[in-house]
Amino acid sequence: ESLYKSLLLIFLVLFADFSDVQCTELTFELPDKVEQCFYEDIKKDTKCILDFQVIWGGNYDVDLVMRGPDGKELYRTDRKKYDTIEFTAHADGEYEFCFSNQFSSFTHKKIYFDLITSDDDPPLTENIAQHQVALTQLETSIVKIHEGLKVVRDYQTHHRLREAQGKADAQYLNHRVQYWSIYETILFVVVGFSQVFILRRFFAQKRSKI
């Protein structure tokens, strides 16, 4: 019976860790002089994490404003390259996240962000009162696994941001190299034809004088 309870507890922990987490992930382009808003329905007392990073464009900065269902401003930052915002929803309703590039005159930005919403209460909290005994070694290990999974999730988010920025930089350098190669090729062709034309004219003038 104790083995059955332990296996059931493992299943509940793993199921809770993956089923209670919702993640919205998006990469989008933000033109100059434009503000773009996104909306998410969030329940009260839900813990949320918003990560964003400018992965391409200008000085890699953007403005962000977050508002609650009542329209009240909850968070604001100006010209930030990246940030992580942790908050707990104070009410049920639609939360607004607005990214602004209105301060830029001609530079487009590419922005990556993800919003994680979850009930991250310890998975054994509800069951501890029923046990009325100290946690077993297996149950303690399960709690550590649960905490470790959250750390892994944070690292995955961090590396996704780094990967997106690295990809954008590589594509930008690739385009620059291609354009420079085309420019050099055209320049070599023009210089070659010019040298041939000048030499032919030089020898033509010599012959006419003779």
Largest alpha-carbon pair distance within the chain? 117
Q: Between these two residues, 131 and 150, which has the higher pLDDT value? A: 150
pLDDT surpassing 80 at residue 84 = yes
Q: Is the pLDDT of residue 75 over 70?
A: yes
Quote the pLDDT of residue 57.
84
Q: Which residue has the tokens 């083995």?
A: 3
Q: Give the mean model confidence (pLDDT) for residues 50-71.
A: 89
| pLDDT tens, position by position, 129-145 | 455 455 577 777 777 88
What integer pLDDT is reported at residue 209 of this predicted model? 55
Q: In what order do the strands lie in the sheet with 73-80?
A: 35-42, 93-100, 62-67, 73-80
Phi, psi of 185 (to 5 degrees): -60, -45
Residue 87 pLDDT > 50: yes
* Cβ-proximal residues to 7 (8 Å cutoff; 6+ apart), any chain: none
> Which tokens is 86 given?
């942790």
Q: Can you read off the two tokens belonging to residue 176?
A: 């620059």
Report the pLDDT value the prediction gives residue 38, as an integer from 0 to 100: 94
Quick check: helix, strand or coil at residue 59?
coil
In this prediction, residues 111-139 reach a mean pLDDT of 64
Q: Which of 39-53, 94-108, 113-127, 145-159 has the lowest mean pLDDT?
A: 113-127
Residue identified by tokens 């003038």 is 205
State residue 1's pLDDT score. 47
In this predicted structure, what is the pLDDT of residue 39?
A: 93
pLDDT at 132: 46
pLDDT confidence tier of residue 166, bands split at 50, 70 and 90: confident
